[in-house]
């Protein structure tokens, strides 16, 4: 699906074009760094470290870098807007990196509807009530972007979902999510190398 129109894309692009744009969702600030809501941002950290990059502040309301993965130019970003305003950063990043088809954009995010540690790949579809995804849809007027979903599980008892995803996690849960973040980075690399169909087959099958 074209984004903004190809001609406008060329006029607005402010950086080197990317073959893939990876946006890891989360909230800025040390108090949120270890929370379930920030597993997407942590995945971007993992990718950046794996490929010798360094995230830096950018004009697109994000920490960003461009990585060379194989023959591909991959832009990675952690929006420093709060989660509910992620779309403001996403729309600016799409323009900066010349993304004219939303299949070139992968959003990594937490997912209440998946068991803790489960990683799934998805292209388009519903938003599962996720405020960060909703903001991206509202700014880009589409849901046809890729996602890597990291399960954090539903809140226990009567705890509110927001409270659940914003709290720091226990040691045992942190170990599970640490593994999931590494797998989510693997999933992004699989999408880049083999496409969504292969990534979904590899990460969605059997569980």
In this predicted structure, the answer to whether residue 34 has a pLDDT above a threshold of 90 is no
Distance of alpha carbon 158 from alpha carbon 72, whole angstroms: 46
User: Tokens representing 179?
Assistant: 């593994």
Distance of alpha carbon 183 from alpha carbon 17, whole angstroms: 26
Residue 114's closest CA among 139, 73, 148, 149? 149
pLDDT band at 36 (very low <50, low <70, confident <90, very high): confident
In this predicted structure, the answer to whether residue 22 has a pLDDT above a threshold of 80 is yes
Q: For residue range 101-138, what is the model confidence (pLDDT) as tens digits?
A: 999 999 999 998 999 999 999 999 999 889 999 999 99
* Contact of 128 with 111, CB cutoff 8 Å: yes
Distance of alpha carbon 36 from alpha carbon 42, whole angstroms: 10
Strand pairing category for 105-111 and 20-24? parallel
pLDDT on residue 37: 84
Q: Where do the domains of the chain lie, and which CATH numbers do they carry? A: 6-204 (3.40.50.1470)
pLDDT band at 11 (very low <50, low <70, confident <90, very high): very low
Q: Is the torsion defined by CA of 172, 175, 178, 184 positive or negative?
A: negative
Of residues 7 and 163, the one with the higher pLDDT is 163
Of residues 207 and 6, the one with the higher pLDDT is 207
Beta-carbon contacts of residue 50 (< 8 Å; ≥ 6 apart): 185
| 82-88: average pLDDT | 95
Q: Where are the alpha helices (DSSP H) in the chain?
A: 6-12, 39-50, 86-96, 131-140, 161-166, 171-194, 196-204
Distance of alpha carbon 190 from alpha carbon 207, whole angstroms: 18
Q: For residue range 43-81, what is the model confidence (pLDDT) as tens digits?
A: 999 999 999 999 999 999 999 999 999 999 999 999 999
pLDDT on residue 64: 98
pLDDT on residue 128: 85
By annotation, the residues acting in catalysis are: 37
* Contact of 46 with 129, CB cutoff 8 Å: no
User: Can you give the pTM of this predicted structure?
Assistant: 0.89
In this predicted structure, the answer to whether residue 195 has a pLDDT above a threshold of 50 is yes
pLDDT on residue 164: 56
| Beta pairing partners, 21 | 75, 105
Q: For residue range 138-179, what is the model confidence (pLDDT) as tens digits?
A: 999 999 999 999 999 876 655 554 555 556 666 668 899 999
Distance of alpha carbon 98 from alpha carbon 122, whole angstroms: 22
pLDDT on residue 160: 52
């Amino acid at each position: 699906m074209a984004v903004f129109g190809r001609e406008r894309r060329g006029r607005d692009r402010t950086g080197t074009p990317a073959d893939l744009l990876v946006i890891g969702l989360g909230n800025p600030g040390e108090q949120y760094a270890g929370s379930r809501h920030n597993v997407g941002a942590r995945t971007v950290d993992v990718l950046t470290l794996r490929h010798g990059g360094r995230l830096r502040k950018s004009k697109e309301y994000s920490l960003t870098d461009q990585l060379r993965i194989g023959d591909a130019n991959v832009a990675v970003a952690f929006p420093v807007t709060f989660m509910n305003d992620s779309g403001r950063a996403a729309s600016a990043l799409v323009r900066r990196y010349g993304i004219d088809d939303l299949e070139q954009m992968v959003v990594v995010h937490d997912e209440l509807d998946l068991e803790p540690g489960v990683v799934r790949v998805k292209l388009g579809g519903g938003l599962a009530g996720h405020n960060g995804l909703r903001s991206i849809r509202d700014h880009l007027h589409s849901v046809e972007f890729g996602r890597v979903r990291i399960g954090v599980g539903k809140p226990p008892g009567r705890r509110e979902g927001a409270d659940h995803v914003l709290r720091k996690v226990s040691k045992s849960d942190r170990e599970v999510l640490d593994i999931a973040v590494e797998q989510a980075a693997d999933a992004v690399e699989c999408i880049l190398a083999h496409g969504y169909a292969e990534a979904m087959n590899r990460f969605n099958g059997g569980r």
